[in-house]
Amino acid sequence: MAAPTVPPDGVYVPAPTFFKDRPEPPALQPAVDVDTQVAHSVHLARSGVTGLVLLGSTGEAVHMSAPERYDLVAGVRKGLDAAGFPGYPIMAGVLVNSIDETLDWLRESHKAGAQWGLVLAPGYFGAAASQENIVEWYTVVADQSPIPILIYNYPGVTNNLVVSIESYEKLAAHPNIVGCKMSHGNVSHHIQVSLHPKINHSQFRVFSGFGQQLGPIVVFDAGGVIDGLAAIFPRTVSRLFSLASRRPLDEATLQEVRRLQWKVSAAEEFIVKNGVLGIREAIYRVLGFGHLAGGRLPLRGAMSAGAYEQWGEVFGQMLEEEKKQ
């Protein structure tokens, strides 16, 4: 039996889910806008982004039904195929704590066309879940999953649960666990796992959820980033990755990495401050996809008046970079 496929290194976009601007009665919430989702996905693929993460935290999968999740992934897969991107990498988020329900999500995502599952650590009870039980939870899931999975550690939505280095070491040995996404600021954890001498790094890749860390972690053998800013400025973030991953890393290349990393890090502060609402609004204002009516409760609505305009200088610099790439 062939080993599970490891996701290629690079920049992945945790795509926000696009919703219609208003509910159609008797529906209580706006419907998923698959056409806009496809259009944005194709734009990203054409702009050099390595792959997509659908149904993640930014994608508000917790606000969607099972049929909606399936239709979104299937629709994007069909749209990418039709646009000339067959087999384009798609990770599907899994944001539930029940093992049975986690496997339901993975099976449906597999049928819809996703190649990997990005599985959130089960942190409803936070630190009360021991590292031993976290390892066993992921092992049971990986044993049964029809697609390879990545560990998704996002303490901000899992009651500050942090997967330990020792747990990563154990889980990286599982043949159906092919990587992780660390959505926290502990760069030491990124580097320790990326360089751990007991981990087979050709079969387990580390991705950060923060573009601010792209250059530093990729220099030390991380796989790349799953980064919200790339939903808005895909060419620039992808260019930064391609330079940081170049070997040997000569001084001229390193200088350009430093220049681009400074601009990306400055723009990433917008994502940190404004989250999903900010990403959706910036995509609309910069790329023209979506609208300003917002999405589903409780994240419906636009940013506060004048909030976007405060980033005019920073985003102006990013737009200039996009034109160069």
Structural domains of the chain, ranges and CATH numbers in brackets: 10-324 (3.20.20.70)
Q: pLDDT tens digits, residue range 183-241?
A: 999 999 999 999 999 999 999 999 999 999 999 999 999 999 999 999 999 999 999 99
> Which residue carries 């940190």 as its tokens?
272
pLDDT on residue 301: 87
The angle formed by the CA atoms of residues 69, 108 and 59, to the nearest 5 degrees, is 30
pLDDT on residue 1: 37
List the end-to-end C-alpha distance of the chain, in Å, as a whole number: 41
Strand ranges inside the chain, DSSP E: 10-14, 51-54, 90-94, 116-120, 149-153, 177-182, 205-208, 224-226
pLDDT on residue 160: 96
pLDDT on residue 305: 92
Q: pLDDT tens digits, residue range 135-171?
A: 999 999 999 999 999 999 999 999 999 999 999 999 9
Q: Encoding tokens for residue 90?
A: 């798609």
pLDDT on residue 111: 98
Average pLDDT of the residues in 63-68: 97
pLDDT on residue 216: 95
Q: pLDDT tens digits, residue range 257-303?
A: 999 999 999 999 999 999 999 999 999 999 999 999 878 999 998 99
Residues classed as catalytic: 152, 181
Q: Which H or E element spans position 77?
A: helix 66-82
- The span from the CA of 238 to the CA of 235, in Å, is 5
Q: Coil, strand or helix: which one is 259?
A: helix
Quote helix, strand, coil % in the chain, to nearest 5: 50, 15, 40
